Structure 1
Amino acid sequence: MAGRAKSYFPGVMVAVLVALAAQFVAEHHGAPAMLMALLFGIALNFLGEPGPTAAGIGFTARSVLRFGVAILGARISVEMLTSLGWGMIGLLIAGVVATILFGVGLARLIGQGPRFAILTAGSVAICGASAAMAIAAVLPKDDRSERNLLFTVLGVTVLSTVAMILYPILTDALGFDDVTAGAFIGATVHDVAQVVGAGFSISDTAGETSTLVKLIRVSFLAPVVIIITIWWQRAEPQTEGKRPPIVPAFVLGFLCLATLNSLGLIPAPIGALLAQLSSWALLAAIAAVGMKTDLRNIIKVGGGAIALIVAETLFLAGLVLAGISFLDLSP
């Protein structure tokens, strides 16, 4: 154990330092922290090659990533799920299911693989980069897995940043009140940070509503990952070696913490600490993913991949706009 920890230490520290640098740039210059960590990681790609840091970078991209997803559950509760009403919850569920089905269907038409379709559609439908990393952790690996994950994280982060700027303008042009505007932003923008930025740029009410709606979407991460795991095990049954668990350990961790939070058993200071720890773990993990992937491979995804993730984003926005028009969310 001590020898393994010693071999991991240099790479883990490099990923943590990149995460710190990304957070510094985000706080002082307003850039998305996840995007900065990804770009810094890509710039340090040589550190992921065989050498003293390779083992720790691999550990961070794999195990620290799953740990970060697991403790996201501390932010979820049943009370949160029911506070906006069943109509909004139904719309969010429909958005997740329809976006994933749309992505898989469109991918077939434009020649993209089903794994890539589920990865992009799941990240668009649920919670951006965090969902992409969680889904990638349970999808079968091939020689394009890391490239596809890196592209997806980059794509949803860029699209989230564009949406953070454009969606408040759109909601104002449509005449939405603050609650409706916040609900639309929370239901359509991919990453949590950009949801917060877009919502609070309108008003405190819109910001609080958008954050709540977004966290409800995050709560769908565990069931979606479980369904994907079961589906892939049936589609591609493993005949040799150890069979992977139906419910991955990090998903069980997510569900356990969500249950404890729903029962009021996680004190507020501990919940806040776990939320911060999750953010840092995911930031370090995506930096490590960047360091493990060659930028030249991302370029090979082609225009079809870009069209797919943009189309999924527009589909979700259109679906939520249509749904909100039938719901009365005014306070």
Structure 2
Amino acid sequence: MLVALLVAVAAQFVAEHYGAPAMLMALLFGIALNFLGQEGRAVPGIVFSSRHLLRVGVALMGARISVGLLADLGAPVIAMLILGILLTIAAGILLGRLLKQDQDFAVLSAGAVAICGASAAIAISAVQPRTERSEQQLMFTVLGVTMLSTIAMILYPTITAAFGMSDHMAGIFLGGTIHDVAQVVGAGFSISDDAGKTATLVKLIRVSMLAPVVISMSLIYRRRGAGGAASGARLPGFVIGFAVLAAVNSLGLLPEIVKLTLQHLSGWALLIAIAAVGLRTRLDQILQLGPRAIALMVAETVFLALFVLGVCRLLG
């Protein structure tokens, strides 16, 4: 666990001093040291970190969510976000079949693109049936959405300028399309304070959709009799924790210092978990998924961007 923590600290240092995405750095640093996760005394702690800390991190994300966020945006934008998530996942499944990709991978990648990047990938993977390729697909998805999110952070603000969007509408577009929260913040505030605040708010609404989507997926996998992580008589504990924290926060029962502490702990738990998964992953295994897997994630990203762009144009 200390090895995973050290990798996470190194990744956070690089992120803070050089502007690189912390999740991506944790993943790459972990892969570079993957021999530590293959055999030896460090393996049990690395396995624990990769499986259990990620669930803790996702559960604590509930402290970011409240009903007040929904009221601030209005029904049309919320409807767009919900529809965008559902259509992107459906499109991902269809495109996965066309590209002859594993259906679980198509759902995993589409959910990560549609909701909140690496965090969504971690949560969805936790309720999917466990197979020999599960961690390989998770790492590919985390790597893919992080890279695509970084590209979007640079490219999408120029798209909003090309279409003459107001700062408010640009924030809605950025928050509704970019995968990871950090890149949403970076892209939004690169335009203006108004765009940055709106983008962050929209993104948090997308994050709030994580619990109902993961609950639905868990029930579907269980109904199909899938084994592994998806089996069992109850919903995953981390999903329940996410929902409970969101409800408590909505009721205003979380003091500000507690809320900020939980959000901070969530970020570190997820970063350490990603570092641990990287420590268990070999780069050659990730690359075995091939160019069609890359094409699938790019297509899902383009689909979501075109959908949100179209709706933003209609909303004016």
TM interval, shorter chain, is over 0.9
Alpha-carbon offset, residue 82 of structure 1? 1.8
Among 240, 259, 264, which residue is 1:271 paired with? 259
Secondary structure class of the residue paired with 1:293: coil
Partner of 1:229 in structure 2? 218
Matches within 5 A, 1:12-91: 12-91=1-80
Which letter maps to 2:273?
A
Which residue in 1 is equivalent to 2:89? 100
Structure 1 portions without partners, runs of 5+: 1-11
Give runs of aligned pairs for residues 111-126 of structure 1, distance below 5 A.
111-126=100-115
Correspondence for 2:235:
247
Scaled by the length of structure 2, the TM-score of the pair is 0.98
CA contact (8 A) 2:116 2:180 kept: yes
Q: Could you tell me which amino acid in structure 2 is paired with residue 279 of structure 1? A: G
Q: d(CA) in 2 for partners of 1:232 and 1:27?
A: 39
Matched residue type, 2:298: V
Partner of 1:261: 249
Among 296, 301, 325, the alignment partner of 2:313 is 325
Distance 1:117 1:162 in 2: 21
1:110 Cα deviation from its structure 2 partner: 1.1
| Cα shift at 1:262 | 0.2
How many Å separate the matches in 2 of 1:245 and 1:193? 35
Question: Following the alignment from structure 1 to structure 2, what is the Cα–Cα distance between the partners of residues 52 and 201?
Answer: 45
Task: Give deviations 1:16-42, integer Å, cap 9, x for gaps.
Answer: 111110000000001000000000000
Are the counterparts in 1 of residues 139 and 278 from structure 2 also a CA contact under 8 Å?
yes
State how far apart, in whole Å, the 1-side matches of 2:25 and 2:226 are. Answer: 38
Residue 281 of structure 1 is matched in structure 2 by: 269
Q: 179, 193, 199: which is aligned to 1:190?
A: 179
SS in 1 for 2:315: coil
1:202 aligned counterpart, secondary structure: coil
Structure 2 counterpart of 1:9: none
In structure 2, the gaps of 5 or more residues are none
**Aligned equivalents of 2:180, 2:237: Cα separation in 1:** 24
**Percent same amino acid at aligned positions?**
60
1:88-122 deviation per Cα after TM superposition (whole angstroms, max 9, x unaligned): 00000000000000000111111001100000000
Amino acid across the alignment from 2:69 = M
What pairs up with 1:128-139 in 2 under 5 angstroms?
128-139=117-128
Verify: 1:314 aligned to 2:280, yes or no: no
For residues 324 and 268 of structure 1, the distance between their equivalents in structure 2, rounded to whole angstroms, comes to 33
- Shift of residue 237 of structure 1? 4.6
Paired AA for residue 178 in structure 1: D
The C-alpha deviation readout for 1:268-305, integer Å capped at 9, x for no partner, is: 11111111110100000000010111111011001110
Q: What residue in structure 1 maps to residue 279 of structure 2?
A: 291
Aligned pair 1:173/2:171, yes or no? Answer: no
Q: 2:207 aligns with which of 214, 218, 240?
A: 218
Scaled by the length of structure 1, the TM-score of the pair is 0.93
One-letter amino acid matched to 2:22: A
Q: Quick one: distance in 2 between partners of 1:245 and 1:60?
A: 25
Give the C-alpha shift of residue 246 in structure 1. Answer: 3.8
Q: Residues 237 and 61 of structure 1: is their aligned pair in 2 closer, same or farther, counting only changes over 3 Å?
A: closer
Aligned alpha-carbon RMSD (Å): 1.4
Is the CA contact (8 Å cut-off) linking 2:221 and 2:231 kept in structure 1?
A: no
Preserved CA contact (<8 Å) 1:192 1:214: yes
- Divergent runs of 4+, >4 A: none
Q: Does 1:146 align with 2:122?
A: no
Quick one: distance in 2 between partners of 1:127 and 1:243?
A: 24
Distance, in Å, in 2 between the alignment partners of 1:137 and 1:257 is 19
Indicate if the aligned counterparts of 1:229 and 1:246 stay in contact, CA closer than 8 A: no
